[in-house]
Every structure is written in C-alpha cells, then in structure tokens.
C-alpha cells in the first residue's frame, strides 16, 4: 500500500491560475484529469503529470479523473490499463470513482460530429492519407482546399452514416473539420476528425465500431463532457490548443475547459520516448518494461524507489513553461534523502575475503549488538553472530596501501564495526600469489571501547562466515554514458553504458536479512541502498542496488581518462550491456545490438575501472579464491 500523499506546497504558475479562478468565482471547484493512452507503461515523465493533476486537485479540494484516451485500438490493451491503474495507486493517488474511457463517449462524439456537419463545419473527404498531407502545405506554404470540401450537408451526412455502417474500406474516406487551409497553424488546416479502421478489436467496445475519432477531436470533447475546468498538458500540445478551443466552441458540450501547457520532464542519462523505450525492450537491450534501469514507474519501483521519493522529486523540479534538462542527481538525491531516514542498516560483503581470528577469546560473546538505524532508536537493534571466521570486503585490505589508506594492512589494525579491533598478522596466498585469507588477532579489551594508548582510525564492515547468507547482488547504474543519449543524428544505442548492470553472484550478507521480503529496502553500510528483488527466494536471495551512498558518477567522469591505472585492480564481475546478466555465469552477457559504437563502450569501461567500485576491487583469480574459501570455512556455499 502506498504511503500517504504529501500535498504540493510550492506555488507555480498553474496553481496560481487555478487559485485565481476559484477566488474570482469562475469555478467553484477544480476538476482535472490524467488522460494516458493505454499503449505502454508509464514513465517518470507521466509521474510528473500524475503528481500535478492529482496533487493539485486534492490540495485545492477538487477532484481528478483517470481517463484512458483509447482512440487507437491497434496499439492498446487491458494489460496497459491495469499497469497504469497500479502505477497511479502506487504513487498514492485515487480517482475517487469509476475509471473513465474516451470510448465511453463514442456515441456522443459521433453525435457531435453530426452537429459539425449540419453546421457545414465538417465534411467527408476522399483524399488518401498521402494526398491529404500534400494538400496541407508546409510551414511556409498555405494548404490547398480539398476537392471534396464543398460537398453538401446532405451528402456529408449520408457518407458519414455509411462510413459508420462499414461500407467503405480503410483509408477510403475521412471526416475533416472545415476550418482554414491557409492558417499559419497547420493543426487548423482542416484536421481529420474520424478515420475508418476495420479488423481491429477495441479492448472496450470490441468490434462495435469501424469508425474511430482522432485524439485531437476526442480529447477536448471528453474533457468538456467530464466538466474538466483545467486541462493540463505538456508543451507539445501548445499548437493544438486553438483546435482544442475550436472543438469545444462549436458543439453543444456543457462547458469549455481551459487548456494550460507546461514543460515536459527531460531527465539526464535516459530516454523518455515511447518509441525508444519500446526499442530497448523489443531488442532485449533491457529485461522488460520493469527493468530497474528503465525510467518507467514499474522499473523505478523495482529498483527500490518509493512513492514518497517520486512525489518529492516531482515537487522539487517544479512546474514551468521552459524546457530544461533535469540532473539525474536530483532524482537520486530524492531517494537518498528518504532512505537515509527510513532504511534499516545491514552489513553486506560484496567481494568477500576470508579472515580467520586466531585468538578469539573463549569468553567472547556469541553475538554483538548493532543498531538498525544510527539516528532512530525506535528501529531497535539486532544481533550479529560473532565467530572466528569472517568475511570482509576485499577492498578493505591492501598489501601495499596508497597514501591515506585507513583500512587493514599487514601489521596494521582496524575495528570491526560493532565488535573488536583486529590486527593483520599473516597474509595467505595461493600458488599464483593471490591473497585468499588473512590471519588476524583480536585485542580482547576493545569490545565496545577504544584500545589503550593508541588510536585506531579505520572501521570496516564484516559478516560471520558460518551464518552468512549467500546472495546475488545486482549493481545497477545509469543506462547511458552521456546526459542526452542520441543527441543530434547519433544512434542512441551508441551511448549505452556497458556497465549499467553488474551481477555479483557471491556476495555474503548478515543473517538478519534471511527473512527480508521482496520490496524491503536497506542501507548496506558503506555500500549503498538496496531493495529485495521480486526474483528473490529464501534459497536464492536477490538484492538490487537502488543508489550509491554518494553521487559517484561525476567523480567517475573526471577520473575516466586515468582509468588505465585502475585496470588490473578490478575483479571483473558479470556485465550486462543489454539483457540481465545470468547468475553464476562468470562471463559478461553483452548484447551486440546494445553496444552501439565501440568507443562508447570503451569510454564507459574506462569509467567503470576508474571508479574501482562494485566488482572492480580484486581480480578474477582472487574472487575464485574467495569462493573456494567459502567452502573451506564451512559457511554457506
């Protein structure tokens, strides 16, 4: 169940218009609508519209309708209807009654078209689609009148009736508005109002109709029939507003809504075009519409985003008339802020290195206590089993440490979070010189207190080997390597990030996470925020990274040119340019179609190696050694 709705508090130009209309008495209540076409999954741009329409109506004591503009039966389906309803509910909104469909008004729309014909404001045209476009002219040349423009009212009524009866094939005739073929606004050059479509089954009306109204005709009249006071839409419909006003002014609808446009959401490092999103799915560049790398609401939900973070993000970016490109960091900041306050903490070792405590005191506690949240005592505490064999992250040990390294080194000390200070006494390597184990001693007087006479700066996380949970962790990153994929004439696939998904099949998690249900969110200390994936099972837990603890992307771009220095240090986990990498497969699952240009892949790879994040913390051989160590320790294999 979605968390409670936080009402919009910022004043923007649309809110001011609505408030002025209410104050002047022009309207006694505000009625808005969210009118998606059910031909795909909603994305974050739709979330902005949902928050605006539903949030504004609720904040001002009005109502918002959910209406499906289903005038294109060949591309629409009940699947999309249900997914859209689920997304609106998940965001925390409700339409307060029955769901509406434009197809509910097909009979009335037909009647209004007859009204237009009777007023000599519409005519049946026999031009083909190609001919209609040619007659329409260009931005610099006026259009030409159709040779059928002056048909009599009686002939038009007869032909329109026969169009409905199915007497003519697809494309043979259309009904067009009679407005102005010389208008500088091409939308007013006798736009098509109805077209013939045989052989399609409408998801609501079945095969009842073979005559379908266009969106530009249906939308304003549907608004008027529902008593919409303010019809809010994105800027690409600004040039359609004169046609919107023309439609509601020339038929006997009960009111004349006001259309107001606002800028659409353009977000860095992603694409919003339904065509491009469909291409990502159809070419299996991503693993479906709910792939966590997708900007769909379903994808963001699976990645771990919350309704509150989504609404907060939409509130932060505001509502303006000017187009702009929103930084991805704003979206990531919204979810970080929420999860920092709400997510319980846990420890997870993503790149395990075995540690043996050679002198763990016999009277050492069987478990140590850890707070579930450092700032919220109400979240309580949990117990972490303490044993002589542990896992630490491979990145927390260096034989030859760089300057400023404050974690474990040979002969050096570090504190295990919530437990003892340990010292590395011996480094165990395999025949190839790969570190496979550290032998350490415990300072028995440091449980819950600082050591005498010295200061230990480093604190690292760990998990007990015997009771650790063996899990799959999916490290998601931005789907594209550039802020505006496909800018200019470039194929947007050339900008795909080959490291947008890395799957770690050998991660070790603390045992308290064993009962975590799909959708549960956690902060893995020192790693980031994670959510339990729907694929997760008790036998095979799966966690998705929602976002890192800090914005590492900008720094990675700065370091990309120096990536060569980082190569060889990174353990290469599975990478997926396209489809989800397969668990347990040590090889990258690269989709050739997804790679685009080779230089894009090379640049992204350099970025990945420079970050030394995720799998880039050891070597393939070291990771294999760690895996062998799992069995040797008697832990979960």
What's the CATH code of the domain at 455? 2.40.240.10
476 labelled ligand-binding: no
What's residue 557's pLDDT? 61
What is the per-residue pLDDT across 473-507, written as a single tens digit (0 to 9) for each? 999 999 999 999 999 999 999 999 999 999 999 99
Whether residue 487 lies inside any domain: the answer is yes
Percent of the chain at pLDDT exceeding 70: 85
What's residue 320's pLDDT? 94
The rounded distance, in Å, linking the Cα atoms of 274 and 279 is 8
**What are 407's two structure tokens?**
């974690």
234 labelled ligand-binding: yes
Q: In what order do the strands lie in the sheet with 413-416?
A: 459-460, 413-416, 421-429, 435-443, 352-357, 389-393, 462-464
615 labelled ligand-binding: no
Q: Is the pLDDT of residue 586 over 90?
A: no
* Nearest by Cα to 277 from 288, 269, 266, 268: 288
207 labelled ligand-binding: no
Whether residue 249 lies inside any domain: the answer is no
Cβ of 492: how many Cβ atoms within 10 Å?
18
- Per DSSP, the three-state class of 330 is helix
Residues 404 and 480 in one domain: no
Q: Is the pLDDT of residue 565 over 50?
A: no
What's residue 593's pLDDT? 36
What is the per-residue pLDDT across 601-618, written as a single tens digit (0 to 9) for each? 334 333 333 333 433 334
Q: Which of 146-160, 449-463, 553-567 has the lowest mean pLDDT?
A: 553-567
Q: Give the C-alpha distances (Å, rounded to integers) separating 499 from 49, 475, 543, 564, 620.
A: 31, 9, 17, 17, 17
* Nearest by Cα to 529 from 537, 541, 521, 538: 521
Region 299-312 average pLDDT: 98
Residues 536 and 476 in one domain: yes
Residues 484 and 611 in one domain: yes
Which of 85, 89, 264, 423 is labelled catalytic? 264
- State the chain's mean pLDDT as an integer: 88
Whether residue 224 lies inside any domain: the answer is no
- Annotation says 617 is catalytic: no
Region 526-535 average pLDDT: 98
What's residue 253's pLDDT? 97
Region 67-78 average pLDDT: 94
**What are 15's two structure tokens?**
């809110």
12 labelled ligand-binding: no
What's residue 99's pLDDT? 95
**What are 386's two structure tokens?**
């303490």
- Annotation says 493 is catalytic: no
Residues 59 and 169 in one domain: no
441 labelled ligand-binding: no
Residue 523: pLDDT band (50, 70, 90) is very high
Residues 614 and 476 in one domain: yes
Region 523-536 average pLDDT: 98
Region 176-193 average pLDDT: 98
43 labelled ligand-binding: yes
Region 126-149 average pLDDT: 97
Residue 550: pLDDT band (50, 70, 90) is confident
Which of 37, 283, 383, 466 is labelled catalytic? 37
38 labelled ligand-binding: yes
The strand ranges marked E within 268-351 are: 325-326, 345-346, 348-349
Residues 109 and 93 in one domain: no
What is Dmax (Cα atoms) for the chain?
A: 104
- What lies within 8 Å, CB to CB, of 112 at 6+ separation is 221, 251, 252, 253
What's residue 14's pLDDT? 96
Residue 86: pLDDT band (50, 70, 90) is very high
- Backbone φ/ψ region at 556: left (φ over 0), alpha (ψ -120 to 50), beta: alpha
Domain of 274, CATH number, reads 3.40.50.620
598 labelled ligand-binding: no
Residues 154 and 284 in one domain: no
Residues 591 and 506 in one domain: yes
Residues 401 and 317 in one domain: no
Region 563-592 average pLDDT: 38
48 labelled ligand-binding: yes
Strands 367-371 and 435-443: unpaired
Confidence (pTM):
0.84
Whether residue 226 lies inside any domain: the answer is no
Domain of 114, CATH number, reads 3.90.800.10
**Residue where one domain finishes, among candidates 302, 319, 336:** 336
What is the per-residue pLDDT across 189-226, written as a single tens digit (0 to 9) for each? 999 999 999 999 999 999 999 999 999 999 999 999 99
Cβ proximity of 198 and 170 under 8 Å: yes
* Nearest by Cα to 323 from 264, 282, 371: 264
**Residue where one domain finishes, among candidates 445, 464, 483:** 464
Cβ proximity of 322 and 516 under 8 Å: no
215 labelled ligand-binding: yes
What is the per-residue pLDDT across 359-406, written as a single tens digit (0 to 9) for each? 998 889 999 999 999 999 999 999 999 999 999 999 999 999 999 999
232 labelled ligand-binding: no
Q: Is the pLDDT of residue 631 over 50?
A: no
**What are 406's two structure tokens?**
């404050």
Residues 123 and 92 in one domain: no
The rounded distance, in Å, linking the Cα atoms of 586 and 594 is 20
The rounded distance, in Å, linking the Cα atoms of 310 and 303 is 12
Residue 97: pLDDT band (50, 70, 90) is confident
Expressed as residue numbers, the domain containing 68 is: 13-98+263-336
Number of domains present in the structure of the chain:
4
Residues 481 and 586 in one domain: yes
What is the per-residue pLDDT across 463-476, written as a single tens digit (0 to 9) for each? 999 999 999 999 99
Whether residue 229 lies inside any domain: the answer is no
Q: What's the CA angle centered on 36, arms 32 and 42, to 5 degrees? A: 120
Residues 201 and 288 in one domain: no
What's residue 28's pLDDT? 96
Exposure on the CB side of residue 376, measured as CA atoms within 13 A: 11
Whether residue 235 lies inside any domain: the answer is no
- Annotation says 274 is catalytic: yes
- What lies within 8 Å, CB to CB, of 559 at 6+ separation is 566, 607, 610, 611
Q: Give the C-alpha distances (Å, rounded to integers) separating 139 from 136, 182, 183, 184.
A: 10, 10, 10, 7
What's residue 324's pLDDT? 87
Whether residue 449 lies inside any domain: the answer is yes
Q: Alpha helix locations (H) across 250-365?
A: 274-282, 297-303, 307-317, 328-342
39 labelled ligand-binding: yes
What's residue 13's pLDDT? 94
240 labelled ligand-binding: no
What is the per-residue pLDDT across 347-357, written as a single tens digit (0 to 9) for each? 999 999 999 99
Whether residue 626 lies inside any domain: the answer is no
265 labelled ligand-binding: yes
What's residue 553's pLDDT? 58
Strands 435-443 and 421-429: antiparallel
Residue 448: pLDDT band (50, 70, 90) is confident
Which of 85, 89, 274, 593 is labelled catalytic? 274
**Residue where one domain finishes, among candidates 281, 315, 336:** 336
């Amino acid at each position: 169940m979605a968390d409670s709705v936080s009402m919009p508090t910022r004043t923007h130009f649309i809110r001011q218009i609505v408030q002025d209309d209410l104050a002047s008495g022009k309207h006694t209540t505000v009625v808005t609508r969210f009118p998606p076409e059910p031909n795909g999954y909603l994305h974050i741009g739709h979330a902005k519209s949902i928050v605006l329409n539903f949030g504004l109506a609720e904040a001002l004591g009005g109502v918002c309708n959910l209406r499906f503009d289903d005038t294109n039966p060949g591309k629409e389906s009940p699947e999309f209807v249900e997914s859209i309803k689920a997304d609106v509910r998940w965001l925390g909104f409700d339409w307060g009654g029955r769901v509406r469909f434009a197809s509910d008004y097909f009979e009335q729309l037909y009647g209004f078209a007859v009204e237009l014909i009777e007023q000599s404001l519409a005519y049946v045209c026999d031009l083909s689609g190609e001919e209609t476009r040619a007659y329409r002219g260009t931005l610099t040349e006026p259009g030409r009148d159709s040779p059928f423009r002056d048909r009599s009212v009686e002939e038009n009524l007869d032909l329109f009736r026969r169009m409905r009866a199915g007497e003519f094939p697809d494309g043979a005739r259309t009904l067009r508005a009679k407005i102005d073929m010389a208008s500088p606004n091409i939308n007013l050059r006798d736009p098509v109002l109805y077209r013939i479509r045989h052989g399609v089954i409408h998801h609501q009306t079945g095969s009842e109709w073979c005559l379908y109204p266009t969106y530009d005709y249906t939308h304003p009249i549907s608004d008027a029939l529902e008593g919409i006071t303010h019809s809010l839409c994105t800027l690409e419909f600004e040039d359609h507003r004169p046609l919107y006003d023309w439609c509601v002014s020339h038929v006997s609808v009960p009111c004349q809504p006001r259309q107001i446009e606002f800028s659409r959401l353009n977000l860095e490092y992603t694409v919003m075009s339904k065509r491009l999103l469909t291409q990502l799915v159809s070419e299996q560049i991503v693993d479906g519409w709910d792939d966590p790398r997708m900007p769909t609401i379903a994808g963001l939900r699976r990645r771990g985003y919350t309704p509150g973070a989504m609404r907060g993000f939409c509130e932060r970016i505001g509502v303006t008339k000017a187009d702009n490109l929103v930084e991805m960091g704003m979206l990531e900041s919204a979810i970080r802020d929420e999860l920092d306050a709400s997510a319980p903490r846990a420890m997870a070792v993503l790149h395990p290195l075995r540690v043996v405590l050679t002198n763990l005191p016999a009277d050492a506690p069987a478990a140590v206590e850890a707070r579930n949240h450092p700032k919220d005592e109400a979240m309580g505490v949990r117990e972490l089993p303490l044993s002589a064999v542990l896992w630490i992250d491979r990145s927390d040990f260096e034989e030859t440490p760089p300057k400023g390294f404050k974690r474990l080194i040979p002969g050096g000390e570090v504190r295990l979070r919530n437990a003892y200070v340990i010292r590395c006494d011996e480094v165990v390597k395999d025949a190839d010189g790969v570190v496979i184990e550290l032998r350490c001693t415990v300072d028995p007087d440091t449980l819950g207190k600082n050591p005498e006479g010295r200061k230990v700066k480093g604190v690292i996380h760990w998990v007990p080997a015997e009771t650790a949970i063996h899990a799959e962790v999916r490290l998601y990153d931005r789907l594209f390597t550039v802020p505006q994929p496909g800018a200019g004439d470039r194929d947007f696939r050339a900008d795909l990030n080959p490291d947008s998904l890395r799957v770690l099949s050998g991660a070790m998690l603390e045992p308290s996470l064993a009962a975590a249900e799909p959708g549960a969110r956690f902060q893995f200390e020192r790693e980031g925020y994670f959510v339990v994936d729907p694929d997760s099972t008790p036998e095979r837990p799966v966690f998705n990274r929602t976002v890192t603890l800090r914005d590492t992307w900008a720094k990675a771009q700065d370091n990309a040119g120096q990536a060569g220095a980082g190569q060889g240090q990174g353990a290469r986990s599975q990478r997926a340019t396209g489809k989800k990498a397969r668990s347990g497969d040590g090889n990258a699952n690269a989709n050739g179609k997804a790679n685009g240009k080779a230089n894009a892949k090379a640049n992204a790879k350099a970025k990945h190696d420079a970050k030394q994040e995720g799998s880039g913390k050891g070597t393939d051989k070291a990771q294999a050694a760690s895996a062998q160590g799992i069995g040797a320790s008697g832990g979960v294999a």
